[in-house]
Amino acid sequence: MTLSRTVVVPGMIAEYQSFAGLLRSLSDKQWGTPTRCARWLVADVAAHVVGQLTDVTNFRLEGLGTVEVTKRQVDERRGKSPGVLADELEGAVETAGALVAAFDDDAWNAEGPQGNGSTLGFGLEALWFDTFLHADDIRAALNQPTVAGDGVLPSVSHIAQVLTDQGWRPATLKLNGVDEIQVSGGGDLITGEPLIFILVSTGRAPASTLGLDDTVNIYR
């Protein structure tokens, strides 16, 4: 189940603000560092995150998340500096903040404008998850420590919902420091560190780390 509007809206905005700060901290050398995202440099990861929010705030929602649209987001920003992308992101965050301020609980629980049958809340929680995960991709590439923060819970929540939608086996996530979250109605316990679960379920760490198989990867 998607987290509440009062949790996701401020959390998502704060995550984007943190991401802009991360971009401003990067040198030109760091900008060109390869990441664990196949064939993507740090600059490409950043371009996707920035481009995605820009697309959302301009209601360019068709194909969002597909390979084609993601490639366009990166290509449109190729050669731009960390500071330029941070400026773009901060502008998009300001627009996003004004848009989400108008949402009430009815809108939150209704089908979102993304048009895929998911709720508006699910879509915004997904943005928080994606931004948190890609910030960690950048830090991992630069040998910087993970900054867990508030992004862990929405990431686990989002992954649990995606696994449920994909028909993954019934399971109960009982991860350290996170309230229990059910997958497909609940079942066998999955325990461990939440960040490891996030990495495992997005193909960034071996599934065997948590005693699972590759079907747990939501991008399979």
**Nearest by Cα to 197 from 141, 139, 156, 144:** 156
How much is the pLDDT for 165? 95
Q: Contact at 8 Å (CB) between 171 and 189? A: yes
pLDDT of residue 106: 93
pLDDT of residue 156: 98
What CA–CA distance (Å, rounded) separates 48 from 69? 9
Give, as one character, the DSSP assignment of residue 34: B
Q: What integer pLDDT is reported at residue 76 of this predicted model?
A: 98
DSSP secondary structure, 78-143, as one string: TT--HHHHHHHHHHHHHHHHHHHTT--HHHHHSBPTT-SS-BHHHHHHHHHHHHHHHHHHHHHHTT
Give pLDDT, residue 66: 93
Q: In the 3-class helix/strand/coil scheme, how is 131-198 assigned residue by residue? A: HHHHHHHHHHHCCCCCCCHHHHHHHHHHHHHHHHHCCCCCEEEEECCCCCEEECCCCEEEEECHHHHH
Structural domains in the chain, sorted by start: 5-147 (1.20.120.450), 152-216 (3.30.1050)
pLDDT value for 10: 96
pLDDT one digit per residue (tens) for the chain, 220 residues: 789 999 999 999 999 999 999 999 999 999 999 999 999 999 999 999 999 999 999 999 999 999 999 999 999 999 999 999 999 999 999 999 999 999 999 999 998 887 677 899 999 999 999 999 999 999 999 999 999 889 999 999 999 999 999 999 999 999 999 999 999 999 999 999 999 999 999 999 999 999 999 999 999 8
Say how far apart CA 133 and CA 49 lie, in whole Å. Answer: 10
pTM of the predicted model as reported, rounded to 2 decimal places: 0.96
pLDDT value, residue 195: 97
